[in-house]
Amino acid sequence: MNDLDRDKLIEAAFEVQKNAYAPYSGFYVGAALLTEDGTVFTGTNVENSSFPVGVCAERSAFAAAVSSGHRKFTAICVTGERKNNPLLGSNYCMPCGMCRQFMTEFCDQNFEIISAKSKTDYQINKLSTLMPGAFMFFGTTF
């Protein structure tokens, strides 16, 4: 991924994070997903009083992309901010286990996951590093 695409993803993730619905945890997450053809889809976390019913920002972005006919992806940026407890500090927002497994459905081992604290403070991991030995029903693990 080039610097322009990375900067575009980080910007989009921070922008959409403002739309997160997180009245229970106060943890606002944004995600921006880059398709193979350069299209960007965004998503936020949407909580529900029945906690398992909510959706993570990453899966929200993937759902939007897949609903629009996309199936090949190169990178995602994830941002997060805990608004109701500033004493917890700021950490890199990493995808949860469900989101990592979800990513393996559509992405290869070189898929990049950018976790950004700011537009200039971020880290990049490969999916194969964050989800080694992923479960694959048809096919092999990576």
Torsion of CA 108, 28, 16, 119, to 10 degrees: -80
Burial of 62 (0-12, 13-18, 19+ CB in 10 A): buried
Active site residue 36: no
Domain 3-130 CATH superfamily: Cytidine Deaminase, domain 2 (3.40.140.10)
CA distance 54 to 50: 7
pLDDT at position 35: 98
CA distance 80 to 18: 10
Q: Which of 15, 36, 58, 81 is catalytic?
A: 58
Indicate the domain borders of the chain.
3-130
pLDDT at position 85: 65
pLDDT at position 133: 77
pLDDT at position 87: 57
**Model pTM score:** 0.91
35 in Cβ contact with 9 (< 8 Å)? no
Q: What is the mean pLDDT of each run of 10 residues along the chain (142 residues)?
A: 94 98 94 97 97 95 98 97 68 93 93 96 96 67 49
pLDDT at position 134: 75
Among candidate residues 77, 88, 65, the one with its CA nearest the CA of residue 15: 77
CA distance 77 to 142: 21
Q: Dihedral sign, CA of 111, 13, 71, 35? A: negative
pLDDT at position 137: 57
